[in-house]
Amino acid sequence: MNVFLENVNLNSTSGPNSFASKLKKYLENNGCSFDKRIENSDVRLCFIESHVIDNSTPMIQRLDGIYFNKQQDYSRQNENIKRTYEMSNGVVFQSSFNKDLVFKYFGPHDNYSIIHNGADVDLINKVDPIHHPILSKYDNIWSCAAAWRPHKRLQDNINYFLEHKGQNDCLVVAGETAMKNELPDVFYTGNITPPQLISLYKASKYFLHLAWLDHCPNVVVDARASGCKIICSSSGGTKEIAGQDAIVIEEEEWNFDPVELYKPPAINFDKKIKNSYDIDYNMSVVASKYKKFLGHFINEGLYTKSK
Calpha distance 161→239 (Å, rounded): 19
pLDDT of residue 43: 95
pLDDT of residue 307: 36
pLDDT of residue 196: 96
The amino acid at 143: S
Dihedral over Cα of 135, 136, 141, 145: its sign: positive
Q: What is the pTM of this model?
A: 0.94
pLDDT of residue 301: 54
pLDDT of residue 155: 97
pLDDT of residue 181: 81
Cβ atoms of residues 154 and 144 within 8 Å: yes
In order of 35, 197, 244, 250, 289, the CA distances from 247 in angstroms are 42, 21, 9, 10, 28
Calpha distance 224→295 (Å, rounded): 29
Residue among 68, 58, 63, 115 nearest 89 (CA): 58
**DSSP readout, 49-106?**
-------SS-EEEEE-----BTTS-HHHHHHHHHHHHHH-SEEEESSHHHHHHHHHHH
Mean pLDDT split into 10-residue runs, the chain, 307 residues: 93 85 95 91 95 89 95 97 97 97 97 97 96 96 96 97 97 93 93 95 98 96 98 98 97 96 97 95 96 88 46
pLDDT of residue 54: 83
pLDDT of residue 302: 56
